[in-house]
Amino acid sequence: MTNKLFLRALLISVIAISLNSTHICHAFTLRVSAVGSVLGTWKGESICVCNRAACKNEVAVYRFESIPGKSNVVLLFADKIIEGQRVPMGKLEFQYNEARGELSCDFSRGQTHGLWQFKISGDTMVGTLVLLPDKELVRDVKVRRVKESEVPKAPGKDQYE
């Protein structure tokens, strides 16, 4: 009789552990897949919508990567394609709002203070660049998720500021 009670207790423990670990793994999977919806390579157009002489329309390639220890932050490596080559434009950290499916980055570089915002819908991302504090719209961006093999080779990460 003692062996049957022991086996029942063991079976109940195994089932309980299985259910709890499944729940934990499921929660972990949801967190990773939420940020995972951003990660990867995106290609499309970054169009000037202002009258600034320095602003040029670009074919953009954005590569988003996770940052260890930062659950709702991703790192963007931004390139433009010139004569078939990816040319680094810079890297920025973006906050990811999972509930709204949005990325944002408030940044300052030299005299420029701007706000990038993107909205993700499946394999499409649309966004804008606004210069602050005047809230001047400078760029409209529309990119789609692509395989890294569909775009020119990425520059080394050491080439980004």
Per residue in 47-92, pLDDT (tens digit) is: 999 988 889 999 999 999 999 999 899 999 999 999 999 999 999 9
What is the spatial distance between Cα 40 and Cα 47, in angstroms, rounded to a whole number? 22
Strand, coil or helix: what is 64? strand
What is the spatial distance between Cα 104 and Cα 93, in angstroms, rounded to a whole number? 9
At residue 152, the pLDDT reads 98
Tokens encoding 129: 């660049």
- Whole-prediction pTM value? 0.78
At residue 34, the pLDDT reads 62
What are the Cα distances from residue 27, in Å, to 20, 21, 32, 101, 117?
Answer: 11, 10, 9, 18, 27
**Contact at 8 Å (CB) between 104 and 73?**
no
At residue 5, the pLDDT reads 41
Cross-strand bridge partners of residue 131:
114, 136
Q: Is the pLDDT confidence value at 136 over 90? A: yes
pLDDT class of 161 with cuts at 50, 70, 90: confident
Q: Say what the alpha-carbon torsion angle 120, 60, 155, 151 is, to the nearest 10 degrees.
A: 80
Q: Read off the amino acid at residue 106.
A: D
Q: What is the largest CA-CA distance in the chain?
A: 88
Mean pLDDT, rounded, for 132-143: 97
Mean pLDDT, rounded, for 134-148: 97
Average per-residue pLDDT for the chain = 83
